């Protein structure tokens, strides 16, 4: 579990750098590139956060070694300097820190997903209870006409629901547009329907689900929440741009008015698995300015490719040595010098695998975890380099299979 966490943690750090770069460049990019391309550029880091595997390079800026599970130090009372052996079954039963971190990470994911799942289930239940079918013929005819113009063949339902604060579309399989009130004018409805149908045709609900999954996996990273907010805002901006594409100032003004009229209701029931027409006053100001901006923008193929290359090459920054995390749990170690139950992993048994007897100012012994006919044993070797090297050379010649650690030197009373 720890190795899985460290892989995603590496992914979280590298993707955070890319996310922060995109957030910093967003104002500049929005002036030069079409909102649609910026929106789909965000899909690259979202996918990168869900799929952690990257190209690996021999040289890395930072090397991460997965922290193995703790080996409790085994020292007989009044032990002196010299080789000591103990059965691996004597390893302590304390829960290693690595397992606690891994369990906390998995628990956070489950709690996050459970929260949004229950919230959505409650939303659907209230919508079914308090909504009613839109029976006005004009509304349904307008919706069907716009759907045909956009090439949408799947039927889209229309309901009036006072529980929602703004128009939205829900449903991955059976889409339904929800209106907060029935008194939208014949001039406003076409803009509202077209906006929601753009969301549906682009599969924005599925996009939002990927963002939720990425946020769940990296729930501990505040940068990911900034990314989720930026994606939601860019989703609305790109949808607005699609609705008014090729239109003149009058159409843009009417569309802006329709948006403002649609958000008169206070914020009520919400769910992450829906489209939303309103994102706050600041967001609305930005949307109106974007709608009224008729300047032709460039296609953002370049920034999309740069984000893709940055994501795929993120392995240059970090490298995780999986071999160092291998072996049985009883043979693995925690952080150096924290407690007596912790030790540092060195490597496989060879004639030159040992180190000096101090790490960070703490005097250490060399603990050799090996496999023999009697099972797995932990052998503590004199920290003096010559003695440790000699013992490792003997074990290597004997063909012993095992791993080497540094362990905290025992005190006189064996503690």
Tokens of residue 263, six digits? 């958000």
Q: What is the average pLDDT score of the chain?
A: 74
User: Which residue is listed with tokens 């008015």?
Assistant: 257
Name, in order, each residue with C-beta under 8 angstroms of 128's C-beta and a sequence gap of 6 or more: none
Per residue in 26-39, pLDDT (tens digit) is 889 888 888 899 99
What is the length of the chain? 415
Question: Residue 405 has what pLDDT?
Answer: 55
Name the residue ranges covered by the structural domains of the chain. Answer: 8-58+103-315, 66-102+328-408
Over 80: is that where the pLDDT of 248 sits?
A: yes
- Name the more confident of 230 and 83: 230
Sheet holding 157-160, edge to edge: 132-133, 157-160, 176-179, 168-170
Over 70: is that where the pLDDT of 161 sits?
A: yes
Question: Residue 120 has what pLDDT?
Answer: 93
Dihedral angle, C-alpha 87, 92, 97, 102, nearest 10 °: 80
- Name the more confident of 321 and 249: 249
Q: Which residues pair with 135 in a beta bridge?
A: none
Question: Residue 181 has what pLDDT?
Answer: 85
Among 18-22, 102-106, 400-404, which stretch is predicted with the lowest mean pLDDT? 400-404
Q: Minimal CA–CA distance to 108: which of 222, 249, 215?
A: 215
Q: Alpha-carbon distance 34 to 39, whole Å?
A: 9
Helix extents (H) in 68-178: 97-130, 137-149
Q: Minimal CA–CA distance to 15: which of 177, 191, 228, 203?
A: 228
pLDDT over 70 for what percent of the chain? 63
Tokens of residue 301, six digits? 């193929």
Contact yes or no for 243/256 (Cβ under 8 A): no
Question: Residue 134 has what pLDDT?
Answer: 86
Over 80: is that where the pLDDT of 347 sits?
A: no
Q: Alpha-carbon distance 184 to 258, whole Å?
A: 9
Q: Minimal CA–CA distance to 70: which of 91, 96, 100?
A: 96
Integer angstrom CA distances of residue 280 from 66, 228, 243, 285, 287:
43, 15, 20, 9, 10
Question: Residue 377 has what pLDDT?
Answer: 60
Over 80: is that where the pLDDT of 410 sits?
A: no
Q: What is the mean pLDDT of residues 291-316?
A: 81
Contact yes or no for 290/282 (Cβ under 8 A): no
Per residue in 129-156, pLDDT (tens digit) is 888 888 888 888 999 999 999 999 899 9
Structure letter (DSSP) for residue 88: G
Tokens of residue 258, six digits? 């329709």
Q: Alpha-carbon distance 59 to 57, whole Å?
A: 5
Integer angstrom CA distances of residue 365 from 4, 88, 307, 344, 406:
30, 17, 47, 11, 6
Q: Positive or negative CA dihedral for 180, 186, 192, 197?
A: positive
> Exposed, middle or buried: residue 386 (CB in 10 Å: 0-12, 13-18, 19+)?
exposed
Q: Minimal CA–CA distance to 176: which of 155, 152, 205, 201?
A: 155
Contact yes or no for 82/382 (Cβ under 8 A): yes
Q: Alpha-carbon distance 56 to 92, whole Å?
A: 36
Question: Residue 294 has what pLDDT?
Answer: 82
Question: Residue 237 has what pLDDT?
Answer: 92
Q: What is the mean pLDDT of residues 391-415?
A: 56
Q: Alpha-carbon distance 11 to 56, whole Å?
A: 13
- Name the more confident of 10 and 70: 10
- Name the more confident of 326 and 303: 303
């Amino acid at each position: 579990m720890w190795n899985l966490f460290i892989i995603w943690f590496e992914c979280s750090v590298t993707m955070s750098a890319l996310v922060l770069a995109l957030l910093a460049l967003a104002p500049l990019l929005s002036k030069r590139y079409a909102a649609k391309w910026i929106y789909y550029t965000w899909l690259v880091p979202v996918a990168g956060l869900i799929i952690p595997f990257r190209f690996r390079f021999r040289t890395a800026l930072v090397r991460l070694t997965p922290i193995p599970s703790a080996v409790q130090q085994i020292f007989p009372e009044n032990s002196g300097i010299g080789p000591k052996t103990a059965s691996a079954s004597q390893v302590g039963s304390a829960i290693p820190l690595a397992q606690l971190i891994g369990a906390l990470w998995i628990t956070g994911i489950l709690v996050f997903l459970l929260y949004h799942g229950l919230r959505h289930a409650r939303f659907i239940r209230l919508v079914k209870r308090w909504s009613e079918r839109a029976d006005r013929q004009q509304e349904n005819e307008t919706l069907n006409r716009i759907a045909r113009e956009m090439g949408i063949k799947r039927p889209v339902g229309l309901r009036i629901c006072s529980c929602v604060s703004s128009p939205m579309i829900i449903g991955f399989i059976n889409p339904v547009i929800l209106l907060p009130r029935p008194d939208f004018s014949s001039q406003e409805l076409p803009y509202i329907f077209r906006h929601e149908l753009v969301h549906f045709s682009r599969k924005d609900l599925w996009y939002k689900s990927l963002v939720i999954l990425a946020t769940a996996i990296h729930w501990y990273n505040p940068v990911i929440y900034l990314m989720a907010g930026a994606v939601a805002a860019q989703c609305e901006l790109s949808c607005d741009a699609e609705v008014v594409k090729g239109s003149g100032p009058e159409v843009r003004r009417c569309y802006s008015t329709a948006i403002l009229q649609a958000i008169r209701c206070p914020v009520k029931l919400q769910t992450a698995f829906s489209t939303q027409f309103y994102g706050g006053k600041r967001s609305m100001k930005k949307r109106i300015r974007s709608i009224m901006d008729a300047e032709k923008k460039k296609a953002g193929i370049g920034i999309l490719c740069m984000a893709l290359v940055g994501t795929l090459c993120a392995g240059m920054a970090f490298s995780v040595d999986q071999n160092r995390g291998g072996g049985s749990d009883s043979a693995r170690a925690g952080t150096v010098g924290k407690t007596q139950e912790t030790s540092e992993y060195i490597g496989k048994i060879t004639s030159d695998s040992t180190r000096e007897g101090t790490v960070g100012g703490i005097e250490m012994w060399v603990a050799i975890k090996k496999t023999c006919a009697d099972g797995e044993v932990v052998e503590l070797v004199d920290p003096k380099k010559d003695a440790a090297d000699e013992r490792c050379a003997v074990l290597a010649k004997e063909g012993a299979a095992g791993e080497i650690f540094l362990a905290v030197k025992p005190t006189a009373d064996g503690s």
